[in-house]
């Protein structure tokens, strides 16, 4: 299986359940791995057969910036759905890091996998 990845994608968004979180954007950091067969793209050297990570990242950035989820669980699940259904990614692994969510911890978040490898 071939994996396309985006690492350290930092996005500002409204996320959280507390009043101050509904008014102040916070940074979430995404690490994304996506299964994609690269064989045809490699053989043809043609972008139409590749998973265009620029297009993927623009879509995810736009979605996260505009979202206003209360829970990171919902946000990460919706990102997985976008990747699987809009970009036909059969398997995805996403790590969402809600920076500075816990005093004294530099990292806190969720890792999910969806689909089949």
Q: Residue 98 catalytic?
A: yes
Task: Give me the torsion for CA of 20, 32, 64, 17, rounded to 10°.
Answer: -30
Question: 51 and 34 in contact (C-beta within 8 Å)?
Answer: yes
Cα 40 from chain centroid (whole Å): 25
How far is it, in rounded angstroms, from Cα 89 to Cα 36? 6
CA angle 90, 54, 60 (to 5 degrees): 65
Catalytic pick from 54, 98, 99, 117? 98
Beta bridge partners of 21: none
Catalytic positions are 98
């Amino acid at each position: 299986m071939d994996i396309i990845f985006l690492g350290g994608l930092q996005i500002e968004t409204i996320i959280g359940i507390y009043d101050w979180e509904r008014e102040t954007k916070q940074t979430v950091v995404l690490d994304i791995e996506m299964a994609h067969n690269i064989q045809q793209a490699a053989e043809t050297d043609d972008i139409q057969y590749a998973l265009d990570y620029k297009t993927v990242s623009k879509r995810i950035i736009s979605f996260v910036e505009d979202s206003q989820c209360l829970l990171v669980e919902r946000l990460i699940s919706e990102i997985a759905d976008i990747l699987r259904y809009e970009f036909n990614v059969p398997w995805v692994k996403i790590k969402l890091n809600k920076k500075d969510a816990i005093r004294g911890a530099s990292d806190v978040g969720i890792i999910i996998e969806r689909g089949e490898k």
